[in-house]
Structure 1
């Protein structure tokens, strides 16, 4: 690919992501193996931030902040397996296998969906374009702090219950069953929601600009509901491990606040701008959480 053609190549996002993320993971590994502190938690956070900085530099050089988007799903399985191996034994416990398997399944599915929707590197999330237009010269700072470092810290907090899983000597119990059920149901809901939306977009007509079928008939954002359930499922794994430190819930709570107060309102505003009759089309569909009856 020559000139700017790489920006418009269908597999450009996947290729560029691979080129960027391999050195980012390498930097993270170098940090955790050379960090001066004895705390696995802090070493991992420092490595996580270092990897994010690598991605940030790439976003500046390529002028596309969407290169950070896959980081949300790439980081958790790497954090999980590092903790399970660094803290526990080389042989994973049954709880570690369950937690890691679900985190990996979630990560693979979400990353695949991200790459499937990202049709060329010339595309960029509308939210980033809006922020760039709004902040002008200050946008690189907004990009670093708000678009990249903030989600990195948020996801790291969401992963902290996995540290309890790594440190636990508790046997599997009923709460593990709930954790598995909630986490798997979350992944299933996200999968169904994304597949139904993908199918809908292929047949969308002016008379039906909004998807209101399948799980989308019960929530305007069922994929977000699934994402929230996933992080609460991870929290349940921490509880099942016998750890009850209050800070373990910080990630799940922060995720909930992010989606309820920022992500969902932003998407609703966007849809209202694009579709003047949006409120009428979804008047009987809850914004986020489905009605119990």
Structure 2
């Protein structure tokens, strides 16, 4: 592996993220809200994948495939978040953070924009390292193929889950109700589960050539954030006080999908099958 190429990709990726978040900070400052940083979460990875594809000297096929997959995922996610946040005020997470630490430019930049830029750089290391790794050979093609399949499953869950939720929220008749249909009947967080699969798929593709396997810490970190950090766990804390959510929790998997269990009401119904096994 060419260490000069590694350093080139690392430095150019970092520089691209700094430029992206500098521009995003200026947009957020002008708009009076800093949740615009969420919109560039997906785009940031697309930028890194583009830099890695151009500046890397590894397998052309793997660079192109990773860029294509990341571009599809990241562009869709950023477009979805842009539409969801349009016309809304500041995200409560950032309001609480800024109320606690102040609203000076230094606080905003370091605690919101720099934090996200560093997170993107670290999580994207499989993409960066893969861009300077050699060709995939022999049995490693199975790992490459498995990565594409896992990514596809994740993209399907994330895309369909977001679409189902958006359609549910758009119906005024669903106001105050819990979304428990479609993929949301199999897992309480299909979008987070899908995101997790996307990053394990990316890592598997990178791991199809040495030393991509060493970047396994990236999807591990991402999985922790989605499952136990600011993802599913935090959302559960905000949702548990809503009517019906406890019952929804009792019959629906927390993160990894499984068929829904019967609710207590359904289980006690005269038409339910109570045969023990």
TM-score, normalized by length of structure 1? 0.76
Instruction: For residues 156-180 of structure 1, give each alpha carbon's deviation from its aligned partner in whole angstroms, at most 9, with x where no partner exists.
Output: 2221111232212223611110111
Secondary structure of 2:207's counterpart equals helix
Tell me which of 154, 163, 167 is aligned to 2:119.
154
Tell me which of 46, 64, 74 is aligned to 1:97.
64
1:134-283 alignment runs, 5 A limit: 135=100, 137=102, 143-171=108-136, 173-203=141-171, 205=173, 209-244=177-212, 246=214, 248-263=215-230, 264-273=232-241, 275-283=242-250
Using the alignment, how far apart are the partners of 1:107 and 1:56 within structure 2? 19
Using the alignment, how far apart are the partners of 2:213 and 2:76 within structure 1? 31
Using the alignment, how far apart are the partners of 1:271 and 1:70 within structure 2? 23
- Gap runs ≥5 in structure 2: 1-5, 261-277
2:74 is matched with which residue?
A: 107
1:238 Cα offset (Å):
1.4
Using the alignment, how far apart are the partners of 2:131 and 2:151 within structure 1? 18
1:23 is matched with which residue?
A: none
Using the alignment, how far apart are the partners of 2:7 and 2:83 within structure 1? 40
1:68 is matched with which residue?
A: 37
Instruction: For residues 187-224 of structure 1, give each alpha carbon's deviation from its aligned partner in whole angstroms, at most 9, with x where no partner exists.
Output: 11111101111111122536861100010001111100
Instruction: For residues 100-159 of structure 1, give each alpha carbon's deviation from its aligned partner in whole angstroms, at most 9, with x where no partner exists.
Output: 111111012112211221231x423232233344x1625765543343222222222221
Using the alignment, how far apart are the partners of 1:113 and 1:155 within structure 2? 19
Using the alignment, how far apart are the partners of 1:126 and 1:185 within structure 2? 31
**Bigger Cα displacement from structure 2, 178-187 vs 196-205:** 196-205
Change beyond 3 A, Cα 1:234–1:38: closer
Change beyond 3 A, Cα 1:46–1:93: closer
Change beyond 3 A, Cα 1:140–1:290: farther
Instruction: Say if 2:46 and 2:71, in contact at 8 Å, map to a contact too.
Output: yes
Change beyond 3 A, Cα 1:285–1:229: same
Tell me which of 7, 24, 48 is aligned to 2:17.
48
Instruction: For residues 242-290 of structure 1, give each alpha carbon's deviation from its aligned partner in whole angstroms, at most 9, with x where no partner exists.
Output: 22563x12221111121222222221121134x1442123321122222
Change beyond 3 A, Cα 1:63–1:46: same
- Gap runs ≥5 in structure 1: 1-36
Secondary structure of 1:167's counterpart equals coil
Aligned length: 251
Instruction: Say if 1:80 and 1:162, in contact at 8 Å, map to a contact too.
Output: yes
CA RMSD of aligned residues (A): 2.6
